[in-house]
Structure 1
Amino acid sequence: MSMQFPKIPKKVNIAGFVNTRVLRDDKKRQVFAKYEVQRQALRYAVRNTSLPARTRVQAQLELAESHSYTRSTTIKNRCVASGTARSIFRDFKLNRYQFRLQALAGELPGVRKASW
């Protein structure tokens, strides 16, 4: 009987991750960035009518067979504090409720409550 050691998680770029949805979204962003240039080249080959039909079809098949994480449409903005995907402020990567809590606590630099 062999002993199995637990897998050590890979180093993650953004601190404050709470749940697996945020980790999965970060992984999607990394994979998309890695394959973006390759996908753009294939998309160009598919649309270029001056290329032979066989080359265009091969590029189209390669695009269709690529992993879904390489597509930009799978990326969703998520709150890094709570993991929710609704009402996200892109500059802070927080949803409106977490933004309000952290702003009132003074944890966001340059953010003050408005009063007039």
Structure 2
Amino acid sequence: MGASAWVLRDLRKRVSAADVELQRRAYLYVARNTTLPAQVRHRAQLGLNSLNGGEGRMTSIRNRCTETSKGRGVLTKFGLCRYQFRLKALKGEIPGVHKASW
């Protein structure tokens, strides 16, 4: 099924971003520190730009539904899109969630 390829790609991006997060924060700290010499700051900026292409960046990560791989309307707490959340809630598969009536 092609839908799971999106989820696998998103998981790979999350792992890659987590791996370089500490190094990225160190580069950012040095690049933004105005008390350091310009040459050191420039080297830190170049190192920041070279971090793992596009996969190490947090902006490349997209929350996707774990069931359908939809990229919109995803509830991050449950990892499901709105429709899948509704279906599972109505079936009683999500503990503590039930249809509201007032």
What TM-score does the superposition give when structure 2 sets the normalisation length?
0.91
What amino acid maps onto 2:45 in structure 1? Q
Corresponding residue for residue 12 of structure 2:
27
From the two aligned structures, give the one with the greater helix fraction.
Answer: 2
**1:4-83 equivalences in 2 (<5 Å):** 19-67=4-52, 68-83=54-69
1:78 Cα deviation from its structure 2 partner:
0.5
The answer for unaligned runs of 5 or more in structure 1 is 1-17
Q: Kindly indicate whether the alpha-carbon contact (under 8 Å) linking 2:73 and 2:82 is maintained by their aligned counterparts in 1.
A: yes
Total equivalences in the alignment? 99
- Partner deviation per Cα, 1:22-53 (whole Å, 9 max, x = no partner): 11111111111111111011011111111111
Matched-pair identity in %: 49
TM superposition outliers: structure 1 runs of 4+ over 3 Å: none
What TM-score does the superposition give when structure 1 sets the normalisation length?
0.81
SS, match of residue 69 in structure 1: coil
What amino acid maps onto 1:33 in structure 2? A
Corresponding residue for residue 110 of structure 1:
96
Query: Radius of gyration: which is bigger?
Result: 1
How well do the aligned residues superpose, as a CA RMSD in angstroms?
1.0
The whole-number CA distance in structure 2 between the counterparts of 1:50 and 1:114 is 57
1:107 Cα deviation from its structure 2 partner:
1.0
The answer for unaligned runs of 5 or more in structure 2 is none
